[in-house]
Structure 1
């Protein structure tokens, strides 16, 4: 799982809480990537952060649905 985020983003803080909780539940980890550290990622995601990907598939952006993340991790 990857959480694409940026500093100072309140939605990213909320998404991180969801991701941490669901990863703990699934006993797995995640990587967090700051989109502003990479011009290509910044161009790709722009204002759509936070973005959560599981196995390369976007599971959500802006407000992350815990049930969708859970399904992606266990499905």
Structure 2
């Protein structure tokens, strides 16, 4: 399973689609409109990871919020 940073995971949660390809498409669409260099780098890093993973691995990502103390 691919390791995402907290920032990448937050980015993915905002722009996730119904499948890996939808998520990739959504992130690609938004990157040109981001005015913050650090956010662009997070988006690019996320794209790189999404492009390398399989659809099966994408489906294993947990988008559930967990709050542990």
Structure 2 length-normalised TM: 0.33
Which structure has greater strand proportion? Answer: 1
Structure 1 length-normalised TM: 0.31
